[in-house]
Homo-oligomer: A and B are copies of this chain.
């Protein structure tokens, strides 16, 4: 980001200043597929991602011996602002797609990334995002293997959009999907909810407020592997991102044709999230998370799954919040702190857009 006093770029945290061809900002030529595109790949993306292989239209990924099913997922990220407490669009894009792949029980083996960059974006901003992606991918052990860059003219974008797609291998015998939710199953949330959404909202123009909350953005594939190891018959896994835990539960209830009941006072809501939501008139159950999962498992396996989650750094706060029931199929209900039971409906849209 430019230093406001001097206008000079600040390369703090970016290990690879680009030989800049007399520009410190993205120009249309960076997206043209010619020499400037090549320089951007060679001097910015490849060092950031730690990539050393040959360049080709497609990457080659070895298939682990004995694999019979792939998980394949994609997400685009348009979060605003690009940097927020606890993360940025780059690590979010890596974690989010790793998590989507992992929610089928798969072990992620490779990621792609596609950048759509607005002309005029500072190269140092792009560098920081790419560095965050590379660091997140290395920490997760899931390589970024292929990518693409497009540049759109000023006014046709908003800095940087990132798409990631991911592939993984699903262990034989594992069958995790929303329709497997079965009456009697326990519903587990892996930790405190609402942190990502509140952290991003706290930085929005016109809405800034003080909070110590940081985004929970994290890769959950190791925790999923631990869950599957103790309970290969886990029925459903979902990461409650846009629409929050409420949207996740409503979608599962509808897909499986079952009822879902949870206890409001069992849902872990950090005090600072509760305070921000109270202030903004929002429901923490509707707020996006980026490092949490909802697990629906046979009641008999719930204690083992909880223990496996508690042993993972991202699951220390895991707790049972409710259960799947045969009553009111397709409907989610919550028992309030006063003991009443209310119907919980899918939100129409998102309370605040561009949260991920």
Contacts of A147 in B (CB 8 A): 74
> Which one of B70, B156, B238, B349 contacts A30 once the chains associate, using CB atoms below 8 Å?
B349
B29 touches A348 (CB 8 A): yes
> Which one of B31, B35, B76 contacts A150 once the chains associate, using CB atoms below 8 Å?
B76
A163 within 8 A of B: yes
Contacts of A28 in B (CB 8 A): 349-350, 353
Interface string of A120-154 (1 = CB under 8 A from B): 00000000000000000000000001111011110
> Which one of B150, B347, B349 contacts A78 once the chains associate, using CB atoms below 8 Å?
B150
- Assess A33 versus B241: contact at CB under 8 Å? Given A147-B74, A152-B78: yes
Interface string of A160-185 (1 = CB under 8 A from B): 01010111111000000111000000
B60 touches A71 (CB 8 A): yes
B347 touches A35 (CB 8 A): yes
A178 touches B56 (CB 8 A): yes
Size class of the A contact interface (CB-based, 8 Å): 35 or more
Majority secondary structure of chain A interface residues (helix, strand, loop or mixed): mixed
Most buried by B among A54, A60, A347: A60
A242 within 8 A of B: yes
Contacts of A156 in B (CB 8 A): 78, 157-158
Report 26 cross-chain contacts, Cβ distance below 8 Å, ordered by A residue.
A27-B349, A28-B353, A31-B242, A32-B348, A32-B351, A32-B353, A34-B346, A35-B347, A35-B348, A37-B242, A38-B346, A54-B177, A56-B104, A57-B100, A60-B170, A63-B67, A72-B110, A72-B112, A74-B113, A76-B114, A78-B150, A150-B161, A153-B354, A155-B155, A156-B158, A167-B167
A residues whose Cβ falls under 8 Å from a Cβ of B? 27-38, 54-63, 65, 67-78, 99-101, 103-104, 106, 110, 112-116, 145-148, 150-153, 155-158, 161, 163, 165-170, 177-179, 238-239, 241-243, 247, 251, 255, 288, 346-351, 353-354
